[in-house]
Amino acid sequence: MGPELENAIAEIERTIGMLRRDSADRWADDLERWLADVRSTSSFGQRQALLRIGECCHPKALGDVAVSDPAWHSQLDRLHDTCAKAFNRLEKDAG
């Protein structure tokens, strides 16, 4: 597992924690399910999960979740960026 994927996993876990603290369990459950795919050994499955997570960082998705942490939107930006980097690394390695 490369550093890009490790960073993405750490940001996914951090985001799940923020969601759980504010009882946004539906979103946290979705991220946990996708996190399991990111941790899988299938490069294709990892890329698909990272893509889904990146799409959820949109302001009309996770951005609309009522999270009390003032760093929430910064966290979503970090989550999106780290997932995109991990996705791009996996694409490059698969190519």
pLDDT of residue 62: 85
Maximum CA extent, the chain: 41
Ranges of beta strands (E only) in 10-55 are: none
Q: Which one-letter amino acid corresponds to residue 53?
A: I
The pLDDT of 24-53, averaged and rounded, is 93
Residue 71 has pLDDT above 80, yes or no: yes
The predicted-structure confidence for 44-67, as pLDDT tens digits, reads as follows 999 999 999 999 887 778 878 889
| Residue ranges of domains in the chain | 3-94
At 22, the pLDDT band (50, 70, 90 cuts) reads very high
CB of 32 within 8 A of CB of 20? no
CA–CA separation, 25 vs 9, rounded Å?
18
pLDDT of residue 89: 95
pLDDT of residue 59: 73
The pLDDT of 15-32, averaged and rounded, is 94
The whole-chain average pLDDT of the chain stands at 92
At 20, the pLDDT band (50, 70, 90 cuts) reads very high
